[in-house]
């Protein structure tokens, strides 16, 4: 059974940093590209970032480029999202998901990030 | 990276069919056959319903079908059930390993 479990969310002040983790199990983690998607309270889904199976290439939405960094440790079956220079508009539930056939196949339960003073 | 355009809401009676549209551009929906649809019940995790425009993952009922014409993709749900009431999001590959979502459509089963 595929499982994705995010952690690391919480309350952070504007300008602060946070690192999210996504622990994967039930599939060959290194064989799949992975992605982060977020959802602000009461709002729609927004694609944030993706990385290929090796982690050698990374991609970002314009809204987070230069502030967020996606990475992965295939030896630990874990995906990360380092978030710096956080803004109020980054407040959201952050989901990790694997990419298969250019779709977000399985999703984690999400972790809430709140940026507020 | 502008969001795809979906109607804010649609509705239908049990047993009827509804279609949700998703309009993009030639750089996303119109440029690739990589449109997917997601169902999200309140407080729940999004669930993949269709991918590569028309394909369904194992376990998704064939009442859900996807299509595309030009820059507009559609999700049709036939034989509406009360449990289909949810938010639906389209998503398209937009090139260079980036994706774009629609704003979401709230489906109400009357």
Give the model confidence (pLDDT) of B36-72 as tens digits. 999 999 999 999 999 999 999 999 999 999 999 999 9
Neighbours of A22 (CB within 10 A): 26
pLDDT in tens, A11-52: 999 999 999 999 999 999 999 999 999 999 999 999 999 999
8 Å CB contact of B101 and A47: yes
**Nearest CA to B77 among B41, B104, B42, B39?**
B39
Q: What was the pLDDT predicted at B1? A: 67
Please indicate if any CB of chain A lies within 8 Å of the CB of B54.
Answer: no
Distance CA B66, CA A60 (A): 27
Per-residue pLDDT of A47-97, as tens digits, reads: 999 999 999 999 999 999 999 999 999 999 999 999 999 999 999 999 999
The pLDDT assigned to B2 comes to 81
């Amino acid at each position: 059974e595929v499982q994705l479990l995010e952690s690391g969310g919480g309350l952070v002040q504007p300008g602060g940093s946070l690192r999210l983790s996504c622990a994967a199990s039930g599939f060959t983690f290194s064989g799949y590209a992975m992605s982060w998607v977020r959802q602000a309270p009461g709002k729609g889904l927004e694609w944030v970032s993706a990385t290929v199976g090796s982690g050698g290439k990374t991609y970002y939405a314009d809204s987070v480029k230069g502030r967020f960094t996606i990475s992965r440790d295939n030896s630990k079956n874990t995906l990360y999202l380092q978030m710096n220079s956080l803004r109020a508009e980054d407040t959201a539930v952050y989901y990790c998901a694997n990419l298969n056939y250019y779709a977000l196949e399985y999703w984690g339960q999400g972790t809430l990030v709140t940026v507020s003073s | 990276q502008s969001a795809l355009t979906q109607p804010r809401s649609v509705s239908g009676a049990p047993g009827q069919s509804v279609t949700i549209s998703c309009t993009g551009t030639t750089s996303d929906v119109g440029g690739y056959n990589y449109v997917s649809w997601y169902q999200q019940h309140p407080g729940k995790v999004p669930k993949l319903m269709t991918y590569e425009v028309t394909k369904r993952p194992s376990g998704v009922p064939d009442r859900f079908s996807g299509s595309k014409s030009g820059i507009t993709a559609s999700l049709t749900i036939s034989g509406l059930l009360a449990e289909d009431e949810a938010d639906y999001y389209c998503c398209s590959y937009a090139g260079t390993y980036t994706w774009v979502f629609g704003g979401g459509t709230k489906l109400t089963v009357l």
